[in-house]
C-alpha cells in the first residue's frame, strides 16, 4: 500500500489529540481565557454532563462578550458557539479535512455516538501527518480560505 493510500485510509482516532482541556457551560469567561492561556489554545470544548454542547473560541470571547461589554464573570454558555461540526472516531481522516474546508474551521471535535468528546483534530495534526510540503501548504491554504477544496480535479 502506498503512503498516499495509507493516509486516505487513516481514521480520525489515529490522529486526534485525546488530552483536551474542557469547560462547562457555567465556567466563566475569565476561567476559560485562563485555560486558553495556560494550554496555549484558541478554543475549548464545552461539556454538560459529559456531552459536547458547544465550543468557546478566543474570537467568541472578543466578539460575543468583550465587544458587547460582558463581564469576565459571564458564563461561557452566553458566548460559546453552539453549532458543532464534528466527526466520529471511526470516520476517515478525509472527512475531518473536508469538514474543515467546507465550514472554514481550524479544529474539529471527535465525538462518540453517545455525544461524548473523544478528542479533537487540528489543522496542525493533519499537517504533521502529510509528508509532501507542497500538499500541506495547498491543503492548509484551501481550508483557511474556504476555496473549493473538493472542487479540484
Q: Which domain covers residue 129, as residue numbers?
A: 3-145
State the pLDDT at residue 128: 77
Q: Is the dihedral of CA 29, 35, 40, 43 positive or negative?
A: negative
Residue 8 lies in a domain: yes
Residue 52 lies in a domain: yes
The conformation of residue 127, written as its DSSP 8-state character, comes to: H
- CA angle 39/106/132 to nearest 5° reads 105
State the pLDDT at residue 9: 80
Residue 61 lies in a domain: yes
**pLDDT higher than 80, residue 69:** yes
- Give the pLDDT confidence of 43-53 residue by residue, as tens digits: 999 999 999 99
Residue 151 lies in a domain: no
Note the pTM of the prediction, 2 decimals.
0.79
Q: What is the CATH number of the domain that holds 24?
A: 3.10.580.10
Residue 36 lies in a domain: yes
Domain tally for the chain? 1
Residue 152 lies in a domain: no
For 14-147, where are the E strands, in sequence order? 23-24, 43-48, 51-57, 107-111, 117-122
**CA proximity to 144, closest of 109, 104, 93, 103:** 104
Residue 153 lies in a domain: no
Amino acid at each position: 500500500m502506498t503512503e498516499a493510500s495509507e493516509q486516505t485510509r487513516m481514521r480520525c482516532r489515529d490522529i486526534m489529540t485525546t488530552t483536551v482541556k474542557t469547560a462547562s457551560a457555567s465556567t466563566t469567561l475569565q476561567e476559560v481565557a485562563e485555560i486558553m492561556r495556560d494550554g496555549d489554545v484558541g478554543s475549548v470544548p464545552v461539556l454538560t454532563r459529559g456531552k459536547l454542547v458547544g465550543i468557546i473560541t478566543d474570537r467568541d470571547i472578543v466578539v460575543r462578550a468583550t465587544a458587547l461589554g460582558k463581564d469576565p464573570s459571564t458564563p461561557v454558555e452566553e458566548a460559546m458557539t453552539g453549532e458543532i461540526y464534528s466527526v466520529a472516531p471511526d470516520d476517515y481522516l478525509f472527512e475531518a479535512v473536508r469538514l474543515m474546508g467546507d465550514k472554514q474551521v481550524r479544529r474539529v471535535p471527535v465525538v462518540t455516538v453517545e455525544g461524548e468528546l473523544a478528542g479533537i483534530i487540528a489543522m496542525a495534526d493533519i499537517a504533521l501527518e502529510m509528508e509532501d510540503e507542497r500538499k500541506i501548504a495547498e491543503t492548509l491554504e484551501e481550508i483557511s480560505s474556504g476555496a473549493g477544496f473538493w472542487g479540484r480535479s
